[in-house]
Amino acid sequence: MNERKYEAILVKQEDGLTTIALNRPEKRNAMSPQLHREMYQVLGELRYDKDTRVIVITGAGESFCAGQDLKQYFLEMDSQPESVRDEVRRMARLWRNEMIRTLPQPVIAMVNGWCFGGGFTIVTACDIAIAAEDAVFGLSEINFGHFPGGEVTIVLTEQLQPKHGLFYALTGKTFTAKEAERIGLITKAVPRENLQEETMEIANNLLEKDPLALKAVKEAWYYTFYSPPDVAYEISTLISQRVTQQHGGRPGIQQFAKKQYRPGLGAYKWEG
Ligand code: COA
């Protein structure tokens, strides 16, 4: 992958881990049309990148993401032709919703600072979210006379209880990562000085896992969530058959039978 072609994001690849940093720190990493284009492009490429087994999304500098760029995404886009507006909105929606969810690799949000409005949809889209305890979250749309539009309300109603989500959407009150953890918006809040280390610990855990199995975990989870139970069961059965077929059997269970490892305590040795 040519990492240099991006400007609004920074992409770093190392030992199976690809880290993407939103790179507009002077604008608190607000999402501009260019940033949406670049995220759409990079995630499209990473899907097929065999050197990427885990992805971390974070923010450059001291912010995670201050939401949509209020000038470039709203004010300036209003005067653009409909075709341009549609295209930018399509990419903005796809990368934060469908693309992250359907990537075969697990994606971790490492929330290092401010997270507002549309920034929530990155957190909700990622499979795991770790935040610095002092990171500040807020659904600030109400404060500029609007509401959490686009996908924001949609994904929040899927993931939060109304007494939490509606409360923050109505009041625009900010809250810390500890509260984000309590209401289930993120996986875990950690002291700022441990953010990198704790995220890497999780990334390394995932790097030890069989990529075919990681893909199956994500598929089973999200298809179940969006399907009626009988359909979900059929899909689960098909995924199971496919994984066994791809492995040419059940190598993990074979290794267990030969007492080569204990699945309760760690991953089997898969063939890369
Ligand atoms: N869209 C566009 N520009 C933004 C932005 C956004 N969402 N958030 C911050 N910026 C820009 C500011 O306009 C400013 O640009 P300038 O230096 O060219 O004037 C720069 O980022 C720094 O912002 P500033 O407000 O001075 O930083 P701060 O550290 O004092 O405050 C925030 C940080 C995030 C609390 C504040 O910038 C803010 O409230 N941003 C809007 C958040 C929001 O409502 N997001 C929801 C959008 S859907």
156-188 pLDDT, tens digit each: 999 999 999 999 999 999 999 999 999 999 999
pLDDT band at 101 (very low <50, low <70, confident <90, very high): very high
For the CA of 70, the nearest atom of ligand 1: 1
For the CA of 144, the nearest atom of ligand 1: 44
pLDDT band at 4 (very low <50, low <70, confident <90, very high): low
pLDDT tens-digit readout, 11-26 = 999 999 999 999 999 9
Helix (H) or strand (E) holding 121: helix 119-125
Written as one letter, the residue type at 244 is T
Q: Closest Cα partner for 179 from 261, 272, 252, 115?
A: 115
b/e for 79-97, b at 16 or more Cβ within 10 A? eeeeeeeebbeebbbbbbb
Q: Closest Cα partner for 126 from 140, 115, 139?
A: 115
pLDDT band at 5 (very low <50, low <70, confident <90, very high): confident
- Which sign, positive or negative, has the C-alpha torsion 80, 86, 89, 94? negative
Which residue's CA lies nearest to atom 18 of ligand 1?
Answer: 27
**Residue 2 confidence (pLDDT) above 90:** no
> Mean pLDDT, to the nearest integer, of 114-135?
98
**Residue 197 confidence (pLDDT) above 90:** yes
pLDDT of residue 3: 63
Q: What angle do CA 139, 145, 148 make, to 5 degrees?
A: 35
pLDDT of residue 272: 77
CB of 70 shorter than 6 A to ligand 1: yes
139 C-alpha to center of ligand 1: Å? 13
* Residues in Cβ contact with 37 at an 8 Å cutoff, skipping those fewer than 6 apart: 88, 91
What is the best residue among 22, 23, 24, 28 to mutate for testing ligand 1's pocket, by most ligand atoms within 8 Å of CB?
28
Helix (H) or strand (E) holding 174: strand 174-176
CB of 117 shorter than 6 A to ligand 1: yes
Beta bridge partners of 56: 19, 108
- Decide if 32 contacts 83 (C-beta within 8 A): no
CB of 121 shorter than 6 A to ligand 1: no
CB of 114 shorter than 6 A to ligand 1: yes
pLDDT tens-digit readout, 23-71 = 999 999 999 999 999 999 999 999 999 999 999 999 999 999 999 999 9
- As given in the structure block, the two tokens for residue 214 are 């990681």
What's the maximum distance between 2 C-alpha atoms anywhere in the chain? 67
Which residue's CA lies nearest to atom 10 of ligand 1?
Answer: 27
Which residue's CA lies nearest to atom 19 of ligand 1?
Answer: 27
pLDDT tens-digit readout, 206-240 = 999 999 999 999 999 999 999 999 999 999 999 99
The span from the CA of 236 to the CA of 224, in Å, is 8
Written as one letter, the residue type at 56 is V
Looking at residue 18, what DSSP letter applies?
A: E
CB of 118 shorter than 6 A to ligand 1: yes
The alpha carbons of the chain give a radius of gyration, in whole angstroms, of: 19
Cα separation values, 153 from 29, 54, 121, 158, 166, Å: 21, 28, 9, 9, 9
CB of 53 shorter than 6 A to ligand 1: no
31 C-alpha to center of ligand 1: Å? 11
Which residue's CA lies nearest to atom 44 of ligand 1?
Answer: 140
Looking at residue 132, what DSSP letter applies?
A: E
